[in-house]
Amino acid sequence: MNSALLSPAPLLSVENLTHLYAPGKGFGDVSFTLYPGEVVGIVGESGSGKTTLLKAISARLTPQQGRIIYCPPGAPGRDLYAMAESDRRRLLRTEWGVVHQHPLDGLRPRVSAGGNIGERLMAIGQRHYGEIRQQAGRWLEDVEIPASRIDDFPTTFSGGMQQRLQIARNLVTHPRLVFMDEPTGGLDVSVQARLLDLLRNLVVEMQLAAVIVTHDLGVARLLAHRLLVMKEGRVVESGLTDRVLDDPHHPYTQLLVSSVLS
């Protein structure tokens, strides 16, 4: 993927972030920036700290050290963890989105598919039932779910459909920033391919900024402009995705790439 056209000011600045909850568990001294329209991938083996890092930068886990500055275009930067908790929750409902690896973690199982999408629209102030339902139906079709399933519960959907519904729920408010944790995990290969194609198109069309955690280097290559490679809670290598994967410098990155190729 070609590098994004970056604006001069980062949307998110992560500065010396640390959260260690046990020896060798968590992450330490992580810094990076994310620009509007850019996708940053975080890769590494299980236990490398990447999911814990994602929770911290998405306002769901208070770090022990460091800070995160969120600076939407045309607004002053704000220190994420200096905000009131209610402000962070509002960010997650409106300007941000979180796509979980297990889609039911990000859905309301006892609420219809249309209701899951409609809840996000109501969070940004929409109140007209007919318009909300109409938008929900359009979004279902956009993520390849028949609009006729609008009143069905997520528990009646396949895993791939649940993940696409979760994506629709997150993107219906046109967020500036989306955090994704292993978005294709647990899906069979053909479903993964369709979901990745959908995600790539939505990111480009909506000019989304995103942070994607994955252990799958194929997913990282397809979606991310830049990569952070994590090992034992530390970023051991970073750079443009093609450079990192085609010419890895750190021995651990070389091992990751060679294990995929072998």
> What are the structure tokens assigned to 184, written together?
């294709």
Q: Is residue 63 part of a domain?
A: yes
The neighbour count for residue 79, using CB atoms within 10 Å, is: 12
**Chain mean pLDDT for the chain:** 91
Provide, rounded to the nearest whole percent, the portion of the chain with pLDDT above 90. 73
Residue 95: CB partners within 8 Å, gap ≥ 6? 72, 173, 175, 176, 177
Domain identity same for 88 and 216:
yes
Total number of domains constituting the chain: 2
- Residue, of 186 and 116, whose pLDDT is higher: 116
My answer on whether 186 and 170 are in the same domain is: no
Q: Of 174, 196, 215, which one is at a domain's C-terminal end?
A: 174
Q: 224 and 118 in one domain? A: no
Residues 122 and 243 in one domain: no
Judge if 91 and 12 occupy the same domain: yes
Task: Pick 108 or 123 by higher pLDDT.
Answer: 108
From 118, 153, 174, the end of a domain falls on: 174
Q: What is the pLDDT of residue 2?
A: 45
For residue 260, is it within any domain? no
On whether both 191 and 69 belong to a single domain, the answer is yes
Q: What pLDDT is recorded for position 198?
A: 87
Instruction: Mark whether 35 and 138 lie in a shared domain.
Output: no
> What is the distance between the alpha carbons of residues 45 and 151, in angstroms, rounded to a whole number?
39
Same domain, 33 and 75: yes
CA 211/CA 227 separation, integer angstroms? 10
Are 89 and 190 in the same domain?
Answer: yes
Predicted local confidence at residue 125, as pLDDT: 84
Asked, for residue 45, whether it belongs to a domain, the answer is yes
Return the DSSP state at 35: -
pLDDT in tens, 64-77: 999 999 999 888 99
Tell me the per-residue pLDDT of 31-54, one tens digit each, with 9 for 90 and over.
999 999 999 999 998 889 999 999
Span of 42-46, 87-91, 120-124 with lowest mean pLDDT: 120-124
Same domain flag for 180 and 87? yes
Domain end point (choices 122, 157, 174): 174
* Highest mean pLDDT (candidates 21-30, 92-101, 238-247): 238-247
CA distances from 92 to 60, 110, 151 (A): 9, 21, 25
pLDDT reported for residue 261: 60
Residue 3: band (very low, low, confident or very high) from pLDDT cuts 50, 70, 90: very low
Clarify whether residues 246 and 201 are in a common domain. yes
Predicted confidence (pLDDT) per residue in 150-180, tens digit: 999 999 999 999 999 999 999 999 999 999 9
Inside any domain, residue 101: no
Q: 129 with 249, same domain?
A: no
Q: What band does 250 get if pLDDT is binned at 50, 70 and 90?
A: very high
How many H helices and E strands in the chain? 9, 10
199: CATH: 3.40.50.300
Q: Tokens 């990076």 appear where?
A: 32
Q: Can you give the residue range of the structural domain that contains 69?
A: 6-95+176-254
